[in-house]
Amino acid sequence: MGNALADVRDFFELGGGVLYLILGVTFAMWTLILERQWYYRRVAPNEVRQTIEVWEHRSDQSSWYAHQIRTELISRMRQNLEGSLLMVKALVALCPLLGLLGTVTGMIEVFDVMAISGSGNVRAMAAGVSKATIPTMAGMVAALSGLYFSVSMSQFARRETERVASHLTHV
C-alpha cells in the first residue's frame, strides 16, 4: 500500500501541478456520472411511471390545452433525465484541454532549461518533457473514461424521453 502511494506521489511530481487540476476535474466528472447512474436506476423509473399515470388519469387528452400539458410533461421528463449531462460533457471536453495546458507548461520548462544551460543538460530537459507528456496522457485518459458514459447516458435519456412521449398519446 505504501509503495502504491509513493508511485502516485512520484507520478504527480513528474507530471507537474496541472495533474492536480486534471484530478479535480476528473473527480467532479465522475461524481456527476455516478449521480446520474444512481438517478437512472433508482429515481427515474418512478418518475416515468408517475408521469404516465398523470396523463392516463386525465379525462381530456385531445384538446389544445391537453396537448400543452402533454408537451409540458414530456419536457419536464426530458429535463429531469438530462439533468447534469451537459456539465459531464463539458468536463469531458475540458480534460484534454487541461492536458494541453500541461504540455505547454512542460515545454516552457524545457525551453527555460535550454535557454539557461543550452541543450547539453539532458537530465533537466527530460524533467520538462515528462511534465509535457504526462498531463497530456492523463487528460486524454480522463476524457476517454468519461466519454463512454456521457454518450451512453445521453442515449438513455433520449430513449426514455421518447418512450414517455409514446405513452402520452392523444385519444
Say if residues 170 and 62 touch (Cβ distance below 8 Å). Answer: yes
Tell me how far apart the alpha carbons of residues 63 and 52 are, in angstroms, rounded to a whole number. 18
Residue 122 has pLDDT above 90, yes or no: no
Q: What is the mean pLDDT of residues 110-117?
A: 78
- Dihedral through CA 60, CA 66, CA 72, CA 74, nearest 10? 60
What is the pLDDT confidence band of residue 1, given thresholds at 50, 70 and 90?
A: low
> Which three cell numbers mark 31?
461524481
Report how many domains make up the chain: 1
Residues 6+ apart with CB under 8 A from 108: 128
The pTM is what?
0.85
Residues 6+ apart with CB under 8 A from 35: 83, 84
Q: What is the mean pLDDT of residues 26-51?
A: 96
Range of the domain at 94: 2-167
Name the nearest CA neighbour of 138 among 89, 94, 107, 108. Answer: 94
Residue 93 has pLDDT above 80, yes or no: yes
**pLDDT for residue 119:** 67
For residue 141, with 0-12 CB atoms within 10 Å meaning exposed, 13-18 middle and 19 or more buried, which class applies?
Answer: middle
CA distances to 101, 111, 132 from 92, rounded to whole Å, are 15, 30, 20
3-class DSSP state for residue 41? helix
